[in-house]
Amino acid sequence: MTDLARSEARAFLERPAGLPRPCRVVAAIPENYRTRTIVLDTALEARPGQFCMLWLPGLDEKPFSVQSAAPAAFTIAAVGPFSRAVHRLAAGDRIWLRGPFGRPFRRTGRDHLLVGGGYGVAPMLFLAREARARGERVRAVVGAREARDLLLADALREAGAELWLTTEDGSAGLPGRVTDAIAPMLAEDPPDSLYACGPHPMLAALARLAAARGLPAQLSWEAYMRCGIGICGSCEQEGMLLCTDGPVLDQPASV
Ligand SMILES: Cc1cc2nc3c(=O)[nH]c(=O)nc-3n(C[C@H](O)[C@H](O)[C@H](O)COP(=O)(O)OP(=O)(O)OC[C@H]3O[C@@H](n4cnc5c(N)ncnc54)[C@H](O)[C@@H]3O)c2cc1C
Ligand code: FES
Q: Where are the domains of the chain?
A: 3-101, 111-220
CA pair distance 158, 168, nearest whole angstrom: 25
Residues of the chain with pLDDT under 70: 1-17, 252-255
Pick from 102, 44, 40: nearest CA to 69: 44
DSSP label of 19: S
Question: Quick one: 3-101 is in which CATH superfamily?
Answer: Translation factors (2.40.30.10)
pTM of the shown model: 0.92
Q: For the beta carbon of residue 234, count every other beta carbon within 10 angstroms.
A: 14
According to the model, what pLDDT value does residue 254 have? 45
Q: Is 20 in the pocket of ligand 2 (CB under 6 A)?
A: no
- Give tens-digit pLDDT for 123-144: 999 999 999 999 999 999 999 9
- Torsional sign, CA 102, 74, 124, 161: negative
Are the CB atoms for 167 and 150 separated by under 8 Å? yes
CA pair distance 159, 97, nearest whole angstrom: 26
Are the CB atoms for 155 and 138 separated by under 8 Å? no
According to the model, what pLDDT value does residue 253 have? 46
Q: Is 99 in the pocket of ligand 2 (CB under 6 A)?
A: no
Q: Is 204 in the pocket of ligand 2 (CB under 6 A)?
A: no
Cβ-count burial of 179 within 10 angstroms (0-12 exposed, 13-18 middle, 19+ buried)?
middle
Ligand 2 centroid distance, CA of 61 (Å)? 13
Residue type, 30: P
Residue 6: helix, strand or coil by DSSP? helix
According to the model, what pLDDT value does residue 251 have? 85
Ligand showing the shortest atom-to-Cα distance for residue 149: 1
Q: Is 174 in the pocket of ligand 2 (CB under 6 A)?
A: no
CA pair distance 17, 22, nearest whole angstrom: 12
Are the CB atoms for 70 and 49 separated by under 8 Å? no
Q: Please name the CATH architecture into which domain 111-220 falls.
A: 3-Layer(aba) Sandwich (3.40)
According to the model, what pLDDT value does residue 205 have? 95
Ligand showing the shortest atom-to-Cα distance for residue 235: 2
Ligand 1 centroid distance, CA of 137 (Å)? 31
